[in-house]
Amino acid sequence: MSCDLSVEIAGLHFKNPILAASGTFGYGLEFAPWFDLGRLGGICTKGLSLEPLEGNPPPRIVETHGGMLNAIGLQNIGVRAFVTEKLPLLRQFQTHIIANVFGSCFEEYLDVIRILEDAEGIAAYELNVSCPNVKAGGMEFGNDPDEAARLTEACKRIARRPIIVKLSPNAGDIVRVARAVEKAGADALSAINTILGLSVDVYTRRPRLATGMGGLSGPAIKPIALRMVYQIASAVRIPVIGIGGIATVEDALEFLIAGATAVQIGTANYYDPLVSIKIIEGLQQFCQQQGIPAIRSLIGSLQMDERLA
Amino acid sequence: MRDHRVRILSNAPEPPAYWRLRVRLQEAIAIRPGQFVMVRTREQWEPLWRRALVIYRAEEHAEGMDLEFLYKVLGRGTMLLSRQRPGDELEMLGPLGNGFPHEADSEAEALLISGGIGLPALYLLAEALARDGRAVRLFHGEPTVEPNAPLPFLDDFARVLGPETITLATEDGSRGFQGLVTEAVQAYLERARPRRAIFYACGPMPMLRRVAEIAVQRALPAYVSLEARMACGFGVCLGCAVKTRFASDRTPHYRRVCVEGPIFRAEEVVWDEL
């Protein structure tokens, strides 16, 4: 008997809990030659800003043990070009399109969302709060619970679609930020974004990335991400989407058991464009073997001794 | 493009400092000269990324297609690759990238310029140009080569182009022309003064930059194949961006070596920002 892989997040029905993570899946269409995008639970687009962004100078990426650092610099074509050039093709696929949104100040987030509000075929917004707030001395929105909450509230007020806040592990206390944005009206959370890291060339004694530091992703961060998702899911009532180094069926299952309602696949897309499909098929197989009729029943089923938690 | 599962037929070191890998695909695929694949061993977890390998040679036959690659062991990925044995399987995404354009100017002499492990990018091009009856020359540079060592990859080119068209340059003068390959090209241009010429180059960045300078000075068209760190190879990681200025651009833009390249016209590349 086949297992029901569907999950609900913010009133949206996802056919399965496997989503593509923002920044690793282009505008989605790049993967259309590899498989039917309609097989995915959802797609988080490349982060969209009000104006196009050129991105950082190279080198922008470096491979590390079990992962990679990136400093792409949020390169994107801008929200208007996304709406006119990409979205009409993308919305033809039977999957939820989640527009990932960022800005350098409050107003920019709102402007991007306003433009997207007029467009058809978007299921929800994912706020990337791991960006420096230019008007607040470059401090990341997501590092301060109050700033993150204010931003969430402002976006919530103008958006008719659900708001997912993507949390940064670089915040001092990610659980506090999670609680604050939940209180501010966030419909769901996604966690984690990349972890700030550094790699050094010992011969030149310079950073290997042109910008110095960058975001660490890949299997290396999975245990940290899993721990954070567990802590967040235990602290809030809204659904949490787990992200961080997921590369196998087992990885995805671990996140669901730890409390994630769905997961996003990121860096693994780079070395295997078919990885999401393999994981979806693997989930089905696992559940059938284990006699699990609905994958929902796994969510938050972690048997953690309360004295340990 | 597909993720092909291929079987290794042979994988062995070759002088002066390379490895030659031959694999079998179950089906024939269309390949443009200069295109590449992203390779990993089956179920590889470490290192994380696949490695980009340009397709050196391709041979179609009844059972599918054999592809050959020349590579240099430079780090963890190529080290792992060099340990794979005949019969082992690889996962191979491709073919990827734009490939060399089919140049319409049939009067121009094609000057293929390579340094070190840049050479394999030029073989299929040499074959295609020779098939079209074009005048082709190869200039290849190495730091040093043992005086009597066989050089099978130059023999490959000699069979296609004729041995008299090949110039080997070594920096230490151990064999052939003494000096940089770009100096060998300059010497040839001074001596032979071809009426028209086109450069096709692949090699280390300083060599490509020099090729671009010579092309500008002599008002010759030049195509260069660039190399960059790539996490994916198919256009989504945006890690391999290079600054380029196309004729249509008012200002330079980052373009992806993996999709808009790896082949660029030399004058499109903003060399100071590489």
Query: What DSSP assignment string belongs to B153-177?
Result: HHHHHHHHH-GGGEEEEETT-SSSE
Are residue B221 and residue B113 in the same domain, yes or no? yes
Arithmetic mean of pLDDT over chain B:
94
The interaxial angle of helices A106-117 and A145-158, nearest 10 deg, is 30
Q: What is the CATH number for B125?
A: 3.40.50.80
Are residue B121 and residue B58 in the same domain, yes or no? no
Given B210, B225, B240, the domain boundary residue is B225
Q: What's the pLDDT tens digit per position in A238-292?
A: 999 999 999 999 999 999 999 999 999 999 999 999 999 999 999 999 999 999 9
Omega within 30 of 0 (cis) for the link into B16: yes
Residue B104, pLDDT > 70, answer no
Q: What is the CATH number for B7?
A: 2.40.30.10
Domains and CATH numbers, chain A: 7-55+74-197+216-298 (3.20.20.70)
Q: What percent of chain B has pLDDT over 90?
A: 89
- Give Cβ neighbours of residue A307 (< 8 Å, ≥ 6 apart): none
Q: What's the pLDDT tens digit per position in A16-54?
A: 999 999 999 999 999 999 999 999 999 999 999 999 999
Mean pLDDT for A100-114 is 96
Residue B272, chain A, CB below 8 Å: the answer is no
Arithmetic mean of pLDDT over chain A:
96
B41 is in which domain, residue-wise?
2-96
Catalytic residue among A44, A131, A155, A287: A131
CB B129 within 8 A of CB B136: yes
In a domain, B271, yes or no: no
Range of weakest confidence among A92-106, A132-146, B30-44, B145-159: A132-146
Are residue B77 and residue B9 in the same domain, yes or no? yes
- The dihedral built from the CA positions of residue B75, B76, B77 and B81, taken in this order, carries a sign that is positive
Q: What's the pLDDT tens digit per position in B192-203?
A: 999 899 999 999
In a domain, B261, yes or no: no
pLDDT of residue B143: 95
Q: Note whether A269 contacts B236, CB cutoff 8 Å.
A: yes
Number of domains in chain B: 2
In a domain, B90, yes or no: yes
pLDDT of residue B247: 79
Structure confidence at residue A306 as a pLDDT band (50, 70, 90): confident
Q: Is A131 a catalytic residue?
A: yes
Q: Note whether B237 contacts A61, CB cutoff 8 Å.
A: yes
Are residue B132 and residue B219 in the same domain, yes or no? yes
Residue B23, pLDDT > 80, answer yes
pLDDT of residue A131: 77
User: DSSP assignment of A111-130, as one string?
Assistant: HHHHHHHTSSS--EEEEE--
Closest CA to A64 of B74, B75, B274: B75
Of A31, A34, A67, the CB nearest to B48: A67
Are residue B130 and residue B193 in the same domain, yes or no? yes
A52 → chain B, closest CA residue: B253
Q: What's the pLDDT tens digit per position in A79-104?
A: 999 999 999 999 999 999 999 999 99
**What strands, in cross-sheet order, belong to the sheet with B109-115?**
B177-178, B166-170, B136-142, B109-115, B197-202, B222-225, B263-265
Mean pLDDT for B3-15 is 95
Mean pLDDT for B74-101 is 95
Q: Note whether A30 contacts B235, CB cutoff 8 Å.
A: yes
Are residue B169 and residue B72 in the same domain, yes or no? no
Mean pLDDT for A123-146 is 85
Chain A residues in contact with chain B using a Cβ-Cβ cutoff of 8 Å: 24-26, 30-31, 33-34, 54-55, 57-63, 65-68, 70, 72, 75, 218-219, 247, 267, 269-274
- Look up the pTM and report it: 0.95
Q: What's the pLDDT tens digit per position in A169-222?
A: 998 999 999 999 999 999 999 999 999 999 999 999 999 999 999 999 999 999
In a domain, B17, yes or no: yes
ipTM of this predicted complex? 0.94
In a domain, B209, yes or no: yes
CB B259 within 8 A of CB B226: no
Closest CA to A71 of A62, A60, A63: A60
Are residue B149 and residue B219 in the same domain, yes or no? yes
Are residue B123 and residue B203 in the same domain, yes or no? yes
C-alpha torsion angle, residues B210, B212, B218, B223 (rounded to 10): 130
In a domain, B135, yes or no: yes
pLDDT of residue B106: 76
pLDDT of residue A135: 75
Given B96, B127, B143, the domain boundary residue is B96
In a domain, B258, yes or no: no
Are residue B115 and residue B221 in the same domain, yes or no? yes
